[in-house]
Amino acid sequence: MLEQPLHQPACDFFSLQNRQYPRNSSLELVGNRYRLSRMQRQLLHRGVFDGARSRCRRAKRLLGSTWQLSLLMVDGYNVQITVESAILERQLLLANDGALRDLAGQSARFRHSDTSQLALQAIFRFLKAFPPREVVFLFDRPMSHSGWLAEYVREQLKTHGLNGDARTAAVPEREFLYQQGVVASSDQAVIDASSSWLDLARRVIDWAGWRWSVTDFRCLSGDIFAARGLPRGRLWDSMLLVKKDLLC
């Protein structure tokens, strides 16, 4: 369920997007009208998209286990930082395009820490429990310590018996094999370019059993899971309802 203070602003922003008004101008108009805070505006910006775009993205999101048969290409920092944000109980959102996201700006401030280690270990444990045919992690080369992180991930892949690799790239988005495998990311541009995508961070968080609330915009998409009124504070559809092969 969407929190009351954001319900009407989100509906208005969604309506403007469906009418193809400029995105930034629409956000400014709605934000000023409802006197939204900077965080609330970020939530709308990262969580609400027009109906056609959100439906297209949801149609490409993989549920179930078919992704395990493919090459899995992981947007390293994107997935790691989202999982880390959940551990630290930072603000997360469920967008109406089906993706779990943190707020903008975390990447710029990212520093590897003990929490980063916990996030990575949670990712490796999940992949060991649900191993893909092959997994490749790509990390942004301009980020500090990205080379060390890629080396660490390579070691962990071997430790966990996973077939894969990790490396840095100047712009990872340009090196994903979009038509040859599954991309694990919640980045909008990556999702739009992909033929299929996996919300790996969302899977990991749910599988780890971390319970806490998120700002949920799925009511603006007709998402079957939101409509069923599932318990808040847990991302149930990523692991439980998937077993029943429910699609949204």
Q: What is the pLDDT of residue 208?
A: 94
Same domain, 65 and 187: yes
- Beta-bridge partner residues of 139: 168
The tens-digit pLDDT sequence of the chain (248 residues) is 566 789 999 999 999 999 999 999 999 999 999 999 999 999 999 999 999 999 999 999 999 999 999 999 999 999 999 999 999 999 899 999 999 999 865 555 667 789 999 999 999 999 999 999 999 999 999 988 899 999 999 999 999 999 999 999 999 999 999 999 999 999 999 999 999 999 999 999 999 998 767 899 999 975 544 444 433 333 333 322 333 222 23
Are 195 and 110 part of one and the same domain?
yes
53 occurs within a structural domain: no
What whole-number distance in Å separates Cα of residue 13 and Cα of residue 219?
13
- 228: number of Cβ within 10 Å: 11
Is residue 82 included in any domain, yes or no?
A: yes
pLDDT at residue 149, rounded to an integer: 95
Residue 224 is part of which domain span? 61-243
DSSP 230: P
**pLDDT for 225:** 42
Residue 232 lies in a domain: yes
Q: Is residue 248 part of a domain?
A: no
In this structure, what are the phi and psi dihedrals at residue 175, rounded to the nearest 5 degrees?
Answer: -110, -5
Report if residue 140 sits inside a domain. yes
Q: Which residues lie across from 72 on neighbouring strands? A: 135, 182
**35 and 128 together in one domain:** no
The verdict on 118 and 26 lying in the same domain is no
Answer yes or no: is 72 within a domain: yes
Please indicate, yes or no, whether residues 199 and 167 belong to a single structural domain of this protein. yes
**Cβ neighbours for 6, distance < 8 A, ≥ 6 positions apart:** 36, 40, 43, 44, 215
Per DSSP bridges, beta strands 92-94 and 100-102 are antiparallel
The dihedrals phi and psi of 169, each to the nearest 5 degrees, come to -150, 145
11 and 113, same domain (yes or no):
no
Name the domain count of the chain. Answer: 2
Angular region, 98: left φ>0, alpha ψ -120 to 50, beta rest = left
Pair 44, 139 in one domain: no
Same domain, 93 and 206: yes
Rounded to 10 degrees, the C-alpha dihedral 155/67/2/10 comes to 100
Residue 54 lies inside a defined structural domain of this protein: no
Query: Per the domain annotation, does 229 fall within a domain?
Result: yes
* 8 and 114 part of one domain: no
Residue 91 sits at the vertex; the CA angle it makes with 89 and 96, to the nearest 5 degrees, is: 130
Q: Domain check: are 168 and 228 in the same one?
A: yes
Residue partners of 87: CB distance under 8 A and separation at least 6: 115, 118, 119, 122, 210
Same domain? For 120 and 233 the reply is yes
Please indicate, yes or no, whether residues 6 and 123 belong to a single structural domain of this protein: no
